Amino acid sequence: MIKTVNQQIIISQAILDLMTKFRNMVNDCIRIGLQNNVTSLKTLSTKSYRYLGRYDIVAYYKIHAISRASGILQNRKKSIKRGFKIKHPYLKNDMIISCYGFKIDWNYEILRIPLGGRSYFDIKLNNFVLKTISTLKVHSFCISALGRLSISYSKPLNEQIECTSIVGVDRNLGNVTVGNIDKTTRYDLQKCIEIIDNTKSIYKSFNRNDNWIRKKIYVKYGNRRKNRVNQILHKVSKNIVNELKENKQGIAFEKLTFIRRLYQKGNGQGNNYRGKMNAWSFAEIKRQIKCKAEWEGIKVIEISSKDTRYTSSLCHKCGKRTLYDKLTRLMSCDDCHLVIDRDVLAAINIAKKGDDAFHRSKCLSGEA
């Protein structure tokens, strides 16, 4: 599990020249990859490494430029397969990335970045960065054109928690339900819906017809909405992971495949409903929980969409599929007379599927 820590720095002219060279190398590699129709790192290295010899730069920056270009080309290839409209790819902003050659001098608390010719650029690290990476393994650094230094780090994987049970996660627009048949907890996300509705009302209040100005204002309030929603999701995911760590439990997610297609234009739904559902951060809450859980050594299981079908309507006792009341969101089973909230039912069914998958993988690894 890899994380990053950030710090604002003042960039010298030497680093600016290095970042410009790195951006030019990435764009040259992208051009060579498009000409030869290659995306893999190995093939792109063969085609472009000799061409990068014209740049007076340390050799391992060339390797990272090829890797960066390969990632951009692979993303372009995925977009073509999905049918998206694409433009000519290129790296727009100056940057520099490397996992080789740099040094951290703990005595002077500085990061030394090689410039070539046995010369270095020294960056004074602040107390927060030093405290974060002091006991962990440092992997790489990245400097952007805005003067932002990012250092990636990780910790050993031998701190895996031996989980005693599995809980399921049911993600909804207004809440996140986590639990199993023994205990279920619901986390309210109504505040996120209020933030989304408030931002939409701000959009509707704009009367200016200038598309360029309108776009800038939309981006400003869109980023504001995203930051406020992500902060709420951060608190919820942190509470979920702390509870999992305390109870020594693993977590199982259902795979929501192509869910955005349910709310496309032309499906017979209203604009307000589609806008609200398309602003649903179901992937962000999963990303945050998964990231925090893996960092703490908690087992994370993802169940396929085939195995988690009808989790909100299948009785977890008898397995019979029944309907639910849309007003109360309660599911009642006629056979076993079970009355339960459909979100709680979905979390229990996902937990049962995750528990089965966990024990299957445990047995296979023991046999091996």
Give the mean pLDDT of 281-287.
91
DSSP letter at 51?
G
What pLDDT score does 158 carry? 59
| 3-state class (DSSP) for residue 177 | strand
List, in sequence order, every residue forming a beta bridge with 144; answer none if it has no partner: 95
pLDDT attached to residue 330: 85
Q: Is the pLDDT of residue 360 over 80?
A: no
Environment class of 53 (CB within 10 Å of its CB; exposed 0-12, middle 13-18, buried 19+): exposed
* Model confidence at 365: pLDDT above 60: no
Beta bridge partners of 152: 4, 140
CB atoms within 10 A of CB 232: 18
* pLDDT value at 41 more than 80: yes
The pTM for the full model equals 0.79
**What is the average pLDDT across 11-38?**
94
Beta strands 103-105 and 110-116 are: antiparallel
Picking from 147, 136, 96, 123, the residue whose alpha carbon sits closest to that of residue 4 is: 136
Cα distance between residue 36 and residue 273, in whole Å: 45
For residue 354, give the nearest of 180, 159, 236 by alpha carbon.
Answer: 180
pLDDT at residue 16 is higher than 70: yes
User: According to the model, what pLDDT value does residue 157 have?
Assistant: 64
For the cut 80, the answer to whether the pLDDT of residue 114 exceeds it is yes
* Mean pLDDT within 324-352: 84
Give 103 or 275, the one with higher predicted confidence: 103
* Cβ neighbours of 233 (radius 10 Å): 21
What pLDDT is stored for residue 185 in this prediction? 93
Find residue 171's DSSP bridge partners.
176
